[in-house]
């Protein structure tokens, strides 16, 4: 059975026919004109008919979607129904411009107009580009761009997935994701984990698999097998049918406590995390509330957004991270988009040098929301590199009445200075996504470097050990809130290295809980030793997985 390998980024196995994501719509040549003698009136009519077809398709899809996905599709359908784009395109067709090119240029005109209006209208510019691509696809008889819709289960294969694709992906029918590009912290990987879908990225051969071929995706091993045997299919289906259960108290088989917490980005995800039984929140990415803002949100706006996350966890721990703007999460009011190396640039806590007031306002809002919600609020700063920055941040947080202040350890320098850093904080949380990116000098979004950018890398695990040991010496809790915490096999290693809590996408909690319950703390320490001694990430993962038969029973 032919096998393609890539990097497994979301564990689990699934079997279904493969469906390929259509290639993005290419821009028609800028000088394309209608051929001599073309039926201008007919072409003009084709534009209107294509826009109408797009509108109907989007409305059909919106009716079947839920939540955010539905809202995105409804907004796009409204844009397709707006006659401005069609009439601007028809004017160009009448002047002799090629039909697809006319739509393209008309969309640019509408976008400029919306952007000049600012505010909500400017945000609709994205919908115009989406409608444009869909209309051009119809005009050329090509499949609509975006995630294909199917009534039967399928495995989605794509070059990579953009954030906009993710809103319309329906996990009821899409059972696994495989991409040719993308790294372990790409949007595909993050989406897959949040939906609990097995996923493999950086698997260059996936685009060569025939459409509709039956494939078995193993999101832990990072493999895609075509033509699986009936026995393999039966095993996968049996494991998928098993109920997962978390009793609300993360621990090893011998009762060593490991808090299992949720990563959230807004009120809705916090409500969902509380319903799934998370013990608290280990990472609230506050920047996710404001990614679409051109200006700094007011303290009132911030306090309301934070309260929505804190309230579902009243009486429980919520770790709020101050704004991590920059690199893959730019915020126009804080970051400079023209930096040459944004991942090494003015990101996270570093933005306070120029904009100290933004942190002050945010802490004020957090303190206010904390009081109203009754949650046990912990606050930490991202991208801290030195003990000096740590001291500064903790002092600022205390001034705003935040009692439990800490830092993220995601820059290798902070891990290497762990004793000095830990002396100054109430806790630390390790961001394995960035810690691995910086330790390995491998961009976290690049599929080509996904093998290096893997939290199983022994060098990255050494930095985790270093930090956790400093925490133990000083009696300070040290959590992990990077994507590594959601990998059940790696969670065992992290506990063995001395980590005291794990924060992850809520869907992963039950699997991680079950695997931890199958091992003693000593066993975790032994397995961590195996991982540290391995020559690379692949062998570390293989050595540990071979000692955890429970993973096979659970289909992980």
Ligand X SMILES: C=C(OP(=O)(O)O)C(=O)O
Q: Residues within the annotated binding site for Mg(2+)?
A: 410, 434
* Side-chain half-sphere CA neighbours of 224 within 13 A: 33
| 481 carries an active-site annotation | yes
| Kind plus residue range of the DSSP H or E element containing 8 | strand 7-10
Judged by beta carbon, residue 101 or residue 350, the one nearer ligand X is 350
Q: Interface with ligand X includes 285 (CB under 6 A)?
A: yes
Binder among 218, 279, 287, 410 for Mg ion (CB under 5 A):
410
Residues 3-62 that bind ligand X (CB under 6 A): none
Residues 480-499 that bind ligand X (CB under 6 A): 481-482
Catalytic residue among 187, 289, 400, 524: 187
Judged by beta carbon, residue 282 or residue 447, the one nearer ligand X is 282
Check residue 447 and report its DSSP letter.
Answer: G
Of 19, 4, 16, 343, the C-alpha closest to 202 is 4
Q: In whole angstroms, what is the distance from residue 202 CA to residue 371 CA?
A: 45
- Measured in whole angstroms, the distance separating CA 380 from the mean position of its chain's CA atoms is 20
The least CB distance from residue 429 to ligand X, in Å, is: 8
Judged by beta carbon, residue 181 or residue 410, the one nearer Mg ion is 410
The least CB distance from residue 5 to ligand X, in Å, is: 25
Q: In whole angstroms, what is the distance from residue 8 CA to residue 198 CA?
A: 8
Looking at the DSSP assignment, which residues form a beta bridge with residue 502?
Answer: 260, 480
Q: In whole angstroms, what is the distance from residue 404 CA to residue 479 CA?
A: 14
Binder among 225, 279, 434, 443 for ligand X (CB under 6 A):
434
Give the binding-site size for ligand X (rule: CB under 6 A).
10
Judged by beta carbon, residue 218 or residue 410, the one nearer Mg ion is 410
Q: Which stretch binds ligand X (CB under 6 A): 31-39, 192-200, 417-425, 432-440?
A: 432-440
Q: Are strands 174-179 and 376-381 parallel, antiparallel or unpaired?
A: unpaired
Binder among 11, 431, 477, 555 for Mg ion (CB under 5 A):
431
Q: Interface with ligand X includes 478 (CB under 6 A)?
A: no
Judged by beta carbon, residue 92 or residue 285, the one nearer ligand X is 285
Q: In whole angstroms, what is the distance from residue 212 CA to residue 326 CA?
A: 40
Write out the binding residues.
285, 321, 410, 433-434, 444
Residue for token pair 């826009």: 51
Binder among 302, 373, 396, 432 for ligand X (CB under 6 A):
432
Calculate ∠ Cα 76-51-57, nearest 5°.
60
Residue for token pair 């809590």: 501
Residues 244-283: x/- map of binding to ligand X (CB under 6 A)?
A: ---------------------------------------x
Q: In whole angstroms, what is the distance from residue 70 CA to residue 58 CA?
A: 10
Q: Interface with ligand X includes 324 (CB under 6 A)?
A: yes
The least CB distance from residue 556 to Mg ion, in Å, is: 25
| Residue 458, burial from CB neighbour count under 10 angstroms (0-12, 13-18, 19+) | middle
Of 117, 94, 116, 2, the C-alpha closest to 48 is 94
Residue 432: contacted member of ligand X, Mg ion, none (CB under 5 to 8 Å, by partner type): ligand X
The three-state secondary structure class of 376 is strand
Q: Interface with ligand X includes 410 (CB under 6 A)?
A: yes
Catalytic residue among 174, 361, 400, 481: 481
Q: In whole angstroms, what is the distance from residue 289 CA to residue 291 CA?
A: 6
Residues serving a catalytic function are 187, 481
For Mg ion, the binding residues (CB under 5 A) are 410, 431, 434
For ligand X, the binding residues (CB under 6 A) are 283, 285, 324, 410, 431-434, 481-482
């Amino acid at each position: 059975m032919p096998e393609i390998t890539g990097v497994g980024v979301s564990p689990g196995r699934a079997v279904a026919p493969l469906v390929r994501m259509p290639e993005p719509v290419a821009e028609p040549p800028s000088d394309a004109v209608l051929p001599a003698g073309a039926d201008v009136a007919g072409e003009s009519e084709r534009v209107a008919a294509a826009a109408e077809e797009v509108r109907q398709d989007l409305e059909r899809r919106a009716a079947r979607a839920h939540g955010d996905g539905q809202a995105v599709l409804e907004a796009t359908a409204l844009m397709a129904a707006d006659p401005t784009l069609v009439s601007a395109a028809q004017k160009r067709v009448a002047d002799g411009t090629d039909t697809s090119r006319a739509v393209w240029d008309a969309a640019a005109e509408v976008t400029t107009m919306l952007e000049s209006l600012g505010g909500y209208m400017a945000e609709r510019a994205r919908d115009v580009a989406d409608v444009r691509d869909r209309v051009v696809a119809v005009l050329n008889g090509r499949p609509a761009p975006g995630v294909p819709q199917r009534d039967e289960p399928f495995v989605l294969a794509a070059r990579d997935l953009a954030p906009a694709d993710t809103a319309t992906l329906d996990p009821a029918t899409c059972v696994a994701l495989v991409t040719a590009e993308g790294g372990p912290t790409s949007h595909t990987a993050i989406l897959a984990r949040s939906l609990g879908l097995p996923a493999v990225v950086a698997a260059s051969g996936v685009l060569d698999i025939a459409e509709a071929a039956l494939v078995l995706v193993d999101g832990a091993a990072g493999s895609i097998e075509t033509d699986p045997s009936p026995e393999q299919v039966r095993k996968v289906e049996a494991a998928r049918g098993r109920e997962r259960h978390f009793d609300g108290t993360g621990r090893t088989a011998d009762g060593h406590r490991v808090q299992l917490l949720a990563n959230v980005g807004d009120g809705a995800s916090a409500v969902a995390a509380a319903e799934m039984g998370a013990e608290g929140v280990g990472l609230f990415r506050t920047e996710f509330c404001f990614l679409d803002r051109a200006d700094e949100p007011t303290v009132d706006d911030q306090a309301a957004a934070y309260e929505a996350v804190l309230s579902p966890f009243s009486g429980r721990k919520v770790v709020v991270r101050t704004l991590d703007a920059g690199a893959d999460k730019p915020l126009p009011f804080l970051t400079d988009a023209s930096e040459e190396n944004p991942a090494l640039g003015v990101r996270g806590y570093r933005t306070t040098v120029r904009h100290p007031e933004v942190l002050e306002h945010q802490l004020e809002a957090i303190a206010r929301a904390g009081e109203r919600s009754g949650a046990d609020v912990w606050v930490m700063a991202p991208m801290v590199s030195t003990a000096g920055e740590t001291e500064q941040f903790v002092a600022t947080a205390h001034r705003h009445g935040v009692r439990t202040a800490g830092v993220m350890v995601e820059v290798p320098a902070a891990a290497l200075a762990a004793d000095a850093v830990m002396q100054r904080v109430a806790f630390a949380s390790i961001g394995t996504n960035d810690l691995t990116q910086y330790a390995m000098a491998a961009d976290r979004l690049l599929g080509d470097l996904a093998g290096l950018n893997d939290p199983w890398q022994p060098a990255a695990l050494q930095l985790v050990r270093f930090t956790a040991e400093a925490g133990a010496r000083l009696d300070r809790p040290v959590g992990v809130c990077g994507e590594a915490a959601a990998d059940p096999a790696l969670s065992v290693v992290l506990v063995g290295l001395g980590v005291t809590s794990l924060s992850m996408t809520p869907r992963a909690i039950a699997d991680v809980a079950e695997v931890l319950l199958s091992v003693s703390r000593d066993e975790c320490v032994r397995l961590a030793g195996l991982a540290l001694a391995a020559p690379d990430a692949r062998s570390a993962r293989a050595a540990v997985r071979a000692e955890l038969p429970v993973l096979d029973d659970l289909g992980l």
